[in-house]
Chains A and B, each alone.
Chain A
Amino acid sequence: MDTKPAVETFNLTRLYGEMVALNNLSLVVNQGDLFGFIGSNGAGKTTTLRILATFLAPSGGRAEILGHDVVKDADAVRHIIGYMPDFFGVYKDMEVTEYLDFFGACYKIPSTQREKVVNDVLELVGLTEKKGALIGALSRGMQQRLGLARVLIHDPQVLLLDEPASGLDPRARIEVMAILQELQRLGKTIIISSHILSELETLCNRVAIIEKGRLIYTGPVQGVRDQMASGRVVWVRVSSDPEQAMQLLRARPEVTEVLPADGRLKVTLNSHDTDHSLVAEVLVKGGARLTELREDELGLEEVFLRVTKGETQ
């Protein structure tokens, strides 16, 4: 496989009049990544995706998709990306197949192949039974799937999805996410912006967090957790005397703090490198009867709240 990044931006900047929507944003998305793009409303996520989709031109900096500049080589970029904005963008009086046929023609797919391509993408997104239906009569979830089918019609290598699961019910959301996982398995690179961070957490292998147009973090989800957590937290329950257990733990230099809470002990270790099995070893050797031990992990939502200041533009 070609090793160049799927998406790379260099000091990307976009101004709307006086307002700075993107401020020197530099990020790298590798091929095959399912990349989460996180930020508050107005942080610059949609502007970034619009620039990558060749819809907007940057005011400064540049962006490349699989080595093609999004401004200078826009035509080539349009063939290799699939862009799904945060609205449906449909003709309600069209039938599902007509709609996909139209976009297939826009991507210059020969008419002899279009029918097969349309059937294939409809099958992939689970809309085969609705191929003759009017778009206006489809539910939100189905319209969202249709949007995904449209994105896939020309078999792009990079998908730019802006809030693909917003406004969907839980079942539809899970179904959309399952489709995205399937697409990743097929080798697509997917950049997905979403507010539903719990889903991104399980779905994405890498994330970027931006605020006020500036990049705050980019890397694996675990990395941001490690960065944000002041230390490793382990929850312990003992059936013997808790005071004795607390003294045993406080005596160790790797333990920063031990606090009782809800009948359990909250043990903070001073380093992420410290193995949490140390706590079990100390307690068992000290004669305490250990009944529960669980490591506390920061959720992506908590990380996001800690990382960002809630500033919008």
Chain B
Amino acid sequence: MNVQPVIARELIAQSRQPPTYWVRVVGAAVVMAVFALLSSGPLRPGRELGEFLFEALNVVAYHLILLCVPLLTADSISGEKRDGTLGLLLLTPLQARDIVLGKAISQALRGSTLLIALVPMLLLPVLLGGVGWRMALATVVVHASAFGIALTAGLVVSSLATGPVRAAMGAVLFAVVAVMPLNFLLATVFGVDLWPPLFLPAQWLSGMIIAQTAGSLPKLGLLFAGALAATGVGLWQAGRQIALFWQESEDSTDRLRAVVDLWIRVVALGTLATQGGLLVARSGGAGGSAQDSGLLLNLLWLAPMPFLAAAVTINRLAAAAPVSGLSATKPTAEQRRSDWRFFWVWAVLAALCPLLASLESLSPPQPSPGFMLVNAATLAGSGVIAGVLAFAWRRRWATGLAWSLVLSAALTAVVLAMAGAAAIWRGEGILKDTNALADSRVSQLLMSPLLGTAIFVSGAPAFLSEVHVFSGVPVESVAPLARMVVENSVGLALATVAAALLLPGLLGRRLRAIPATADRDEARALRRDFCEPLMGRRWFASRQRRRLDLNPIGWLHARQWSARLSGWGWCLAAVITQVPVFLNLRSVEVILAQQAWLFAALQAGVAFAAAGSFQWEKRSGVLELVLVTPISAQQLVRGRWAALLRQFLPTLVVMGLLLVLTVRLLWHRSVSLGPLAAVLLAAMPLISVPLAGLYCSLRFRSVLAAWLATCGMGLAIGIGPLLVAVGIGRILWGLSGPFASPLMGWVLVTATACVSHLAAARVFWRKLVAGLGGRRLVLP
């Protein structure tokens, strides 16, 4: 083991990178701001200030770790690949494990400086009193576990990626998903009621810490051991990927395979972690609503597994089958072996999940074991059908798997539409307090086998809690088991007949159409299917040509498949997270809170897209070439800004419509205007953030720094003038005058924010045009 040279090189390089310093400054500033904000507000009744502040600050610290640590590590290996230095390192006696370990240690040192910067603020609440040693210890263990997983997530994604932006996005996403099993484990070990935190993730850890008094040292040890094991597995995976560096082919099929396998491993590990946590919780006697919600969460986790297992194995095995002409790709012998290993893991998992779920379905209001088994069997059956159909159509495992999921989502959408129609037909309406979908006979016929898949595809567990199929209030309305078996069997039989009718045509046509040795690049095929138009290609091409004539810089942004994907992805996320809330309308405040969160998240997404916008042009020198063409700086900025707006336009339209709908609902109810103003305040940065992001993408060399600066600017532009305006207003009028009326107060606040964002947008526009024209933003 020889890690010292790697560590020394990394530390020297890090000391010269501005993000090393900025991350800790920003982290400390955020915690200080939260501290100032909370300590000036009213204290919750019955709680000591120290305890309250300690919990709140640790929630912030936890999320800072989840965000910053993967971002810091995301480009550590991919950067070496781009620069060609990874190959040079591997030509020395250094082993892949030395490189990974060296990177992990040096990145851990860098990340730990963020924690050290936070410590002084985290210690203040301890001095105020109310924080016991158990609470402090639990916090340290939780932070250390999250830190290890976040660090590993960054390294694993970095070992697979090559581009800095995709590495950064992938690292954060992977860290959030990889830490979920840890969160589930936390919840089940400590018996935390998870439902409210699913809506407000920032309270998640807070709830855990409150509950930690019920925990014990062995449980904390178990938690830490789990996180340590996950970290070890992650590092091993990164090392394995680095060792394969020389075998990486030009096409991205192998990398895609590695990425898919990795995600599926995380899902499998997460399943085991959840089960382990639940068993520990049960043995520890955690009960009541906490255990119920833990069980429910567990059921949600397990529900889509049979479908996924079936769809994955069908597609992989069909691709690996030694039948000439069946698959458009030709797997190697090693890949065949790996596919069979895959099959056995998933077969066991698929069988285990319903069994575990049925064992856990012990008491009302949880569904009965029989219900779970019937559902699991139906899900597995539909997984097989969807997998076979999709593979026969595309004859590639990755594309086939993706189409299986799309097929399932489409069927679920049909079912939901039918259920909604049935509810309306019965005169119940959709927007009412009772659960229309769960009461619907139509939904019961088809929803049970498909809903779990929809949840998996949408990634919105809240959806299930709202429709109450697996648990909750309408359990009594769920059909008896015998009828369920009949209904599901009929549904499955119908689907099988339909598949049998379709299959020969699909398979026969494809066998004739595609030679077995066709293009084996799965990633390209996937991109072709999901990021390029399947229909209306000519119209799409002519539209792109018009865009090119109108403004080539805008066209440049719009032609990227990743931009199109992220634009529509945000739109889908908005629909998925909002529609269920509207379907089961309990509180307008909940809808508004969700919309405020969504706008804040959208702002971060827009900031990321804008902050990465000019990075490639700057790095590759294309910007210099464009600036010596007749394209003016003004056209350049306008083109890119308009393209960013177009990218997020579908999401903005959906969000706008939902907001209008919410306002309409608000009209008839006596609710405070505060939440509505909060939504508007959260939405307003979208005026200035695209231009601020474009400016930062030229001003900063690193995407991470540009993104953080953009987000910071978006916040400061809104909050700064607002505080000044409110301060001046209070000095002039006190609590009388315009502030006497809440309506007037909120109107003033939102108007001030709107004006400041518009003014900032104008300033950034001018700075961009001047900076590009005068080359200040282009030259080093």
Contacts and interface: CB of A to CB of B under 8 A. Distances in A.
A108 B621 contact: no
Contact of A105 (B552, B616, B624): B552
B180 interface: no
A116 to B, nearest CB: 15
B549 interface: yes
A79 interface: yes
B736 interface: no
Given A98-B559, A111-B548, 11 more contacts: A53-B628, A78-B628, A78-B629, A102-B548, A102-B555, A102-B556, A105-B548, A106-B626, A107-B629, A111-B545, A111-B549
Interface string A95-115: 000100111011110010000
A91 B627 contact: no
With most chain A CB atoms within 10 A of its CB, the pick from B630, B631, B774, B779 is B630
B775 interface: yes
Contacts of B624: 55, 85, 89
B622 interface: yes
B376 to A, nearest CB: 43
B466 to A, nearest CB: 41
Interface string A39-62: 000000000000001111100000
Contact of A83 (B628, B631, B775): B628
A75 interface: yes
Main secondary structure, interface of B, reads helix
Contacts of A85: 621, 624-625
Given A105-B552, A106-B552, A75 B622 contact: no
B92 interface: no
Given A102-B552, A111-B549, A55 B621 contact: no
A104 to B, nearest CB: 9
B284 to A, nearest CB: 53
B651 to A, nearest CB: 25
B670 interface: no
A55 B548 contact: no
Contacts of A83: 625, 628
Nearest to B780: A16
Nearest to B548: A105
A305 interface: no
A296 B545 CA distance: 60
B597 to A, nearest CB: 34
Contacts of B627: 55
A75 B631 CA distance: 9
13 contacts: A53-B628, A55-B628, A55-B775, A78-B629, A78-B630, A83-B625, A85-B621, A87-B620, A98-B559, A102-B555, A105-B549, A105-B555, A106-B626
How many A residues touch the partner, as a band?
Answer: 20 to 34
A105 B559 CA distance: 14
Contacts of B625: 83, 85, 89, 103, 150
B629 A106 contact: yes
CB-based closest 3 A-B pairs? A106-B629, A89-B621, A105-B552
Given A83-B625, A89-B624, A108 B630 contact: yes
With most chain A CB atoms within 10 A of its CB, the pick from B620, B626, B628 is B628
B520 to A, nearest CB: 16
Nearest to A94: B559
Interface in A1-15: none
Interface string B694-731: 00000000000000000000000000000000000000
Interface string A124-165: 000000000000010000000000001000000000000000
Contacts of A137: 250
A89 B630 contact: no
A87 B621 contact: yes
Contact of A89 (B552, B556, B559, B620): B620
B564 to A, nearest CB: 14
Contacts of B559: 98
Contacts of A278: none
Contact of B631 (A88, A91, A106): A106
B629 A101 contact: no
B630 A107 contact: yes
Interface in B609-649: 616, 620-622, 624-631
B84 to A, nearest CB: 14
Nearest to B636: A106
Interface string A244-284: 00000000000000000000000000000000000000000
A79 B630 CA distance: 7
A178 interface: no
B773 to A, nearest CB: 10
A91 B629 contact: no
Nearest to B623: A89
Given A105-B548, A106-B552, A111-B545, A90 B630 contact: no
Nearest to B630: A78
A111 B774 CA distance: 30
Contacts of A53: 628
Contacts of B620: 87-91
B618 to A, nearest CB: 11
A75 B630 contact: yes
B308 to A, nearest CB: 31
B628 A101 contact: no
Contact of B622 (A91, A105, A111): A91
Nearest to A89: B621
Nearest to A56: B775
With most chain A CB atoms within 10 A of its CB, the pick from B622, B626, B629 is B629
A90 B622 contact: yes
A98 B547 CA distance: 13
Contacts of B552: 102, 105-106
Contacts of B545: 111
Contacts of A101: 548
A111 to B, nearest CB: 5
Nearest to A54: B628
Contacts of B631: 106
A80 B621 CA distance: 21
Nearest to A147: B625
A117 B647 CA distance: 31
A253 to B, nearest CB: 58
A13 to B, nearest CB: 17
A157 to B, nearest CB: 15
B587 to A, nearest CB: 47
Nearest to A76: B630
Nearest to B549: A111
A106 B630 contact: yes
Interface string B547-585: 011001001100100000000000000000000000000
